[in-house]
Amino acid sequence: MFEVLWRGVLMGIGGTVFMDIWAIVLHRFFGQPAPNWAPVGRWFWHVPKGRVFHDSIANAAPYEHELTLGWISHYAVGILYGIILALVVPASWFANPTFLLPWIVGIITVGAGWFLLQPGLGIGWAASKTPNPNKVRFLNLVAHTIFALGMYAVALLIR
């Protein structure tokens, strides 16, 4: 079990790093806003206090270390997804990984953003309250595909 867990942790970290590199590429070369993990940190700070959904996370009480908590949460969730992947793939998959299973997990995890995090931040179900929801949804799907690619790359490295 320990081997499965450490593989999952490494795949989750690798997938999250790939996603962060993708965000840098989008920002530097395509003018997309850089990710701001502070609102996510603020959201995570409020969840244990019983407040999951906000009209606008900007109106929620701030937390002094919300940016740090946002980054930690970003990687913790990525690690959790990596562990989930490691637990659901057949043991033989690690000897000869394929992209399909990480991609399926990556696409399924978009649902957590669309139906928990985004409404929790106050931007609506699947970003429905944003100026261009379909663009956000498309970018979410691409980012999670990149995340899956990172998990797959790490699986290839550690086999």
| pLDDT digit string, tens, across residues 18-60 | 999 999 999 999 999 999 999 999 999 999 999 999 999 999 9
Indicate yes or no: pTM above 0.85: yes
Q: Please give the backbone phi and psi of residue 95, each rounded to the nearest 5 degrees, phi first.
A: -75, -30
**Residue 19, CB half-sphere, CA atoms under 13 Å: how many?**
26
Other Cβ atoms less than 10 A from the Cβ of 25: the count is 12
**Class of residue 56 by CB neighbours under 10 A (exposed 0-12, middle 13-18, buried 19+):** exposed
Cα angle 4-117-46, degrees, rounded to a multiple of 5: 100
